[in-house]
Amino acid sequence: DTGVSQDPRHKITKRGQNVTFRCDPISEHNRLYWYRQTLGQGPEFLTYFQNEAQLEKSRLLSDRFSAERPKGSFSTLEIQRTEQGDSAMYLCASRVSGNTEAFFGQGTRLTVV
């Protein structure tokens, strides 16, 4: 296991298009987190899963954002009708519940033009 992987690393899309990102966590990690990070800021929490259950979703997250983790392994984050303000780095992290050590992927950098 080489850690948390995210795909793609970079995505350029036109405003109004839908995009989907994938995160593969460390295999034995039951918790998976999604974040958005803009330049100069810390990671902003979006949502997290424990196994396949989505346990929390930020109230800042618009209805255009949806995430799934259907089998409790990999997760996808979809953004519908992208806007320029969605341009950011999207980070995924995983950990074992009860353990404070979390591991991050390298992120997907989204640019909306």
The site for another protein (CB under 8 A) is made up of 4, 33, 35, 40-45, 48, 91, 93, 95, 100-107, 109
Q: Which two tokens stand for residue 38?
A: 């803009």
User: Smaller CB distance to another protein: residue 79 or 93?
Assistant: 93
Check if the beta carbon of residue 19 is closer than 8 Å to that of residue 13. Answer: yes
Q: How far is the CB of 94 from another protein (least distance, A)?
A: 10
Question: Burial level of 60, CB count in 10 A (0-12/13-18/19+)?
Answer: exposed
Work out the number of other CB atoms within 10 angstroms of the CB of residue 21: 21
User: Smaller CB distance to another protein: residue 76 or 80?
Assistant: 76
User: Smaller CB distance to another protein: residue 6 or 82?
Assistant: 6
User: Smaller CB distance to another protein: residue 28 or 101?
Assistant: 101
Q: Which two tokens stand for residue 98?
A: 């009860």
Q: How far is the CB of 53 from another protein (least distance, A)?
A: 16
Residue that has been written with the tokens 């953004």 in this structure: 79
Question: What is the Rg, in whole angstroms, of the alpha carbon atoms belonging to the chain?
Answer: 13
Q: How far is the CB of 41 from another protein (least distance, A)?
A: 6
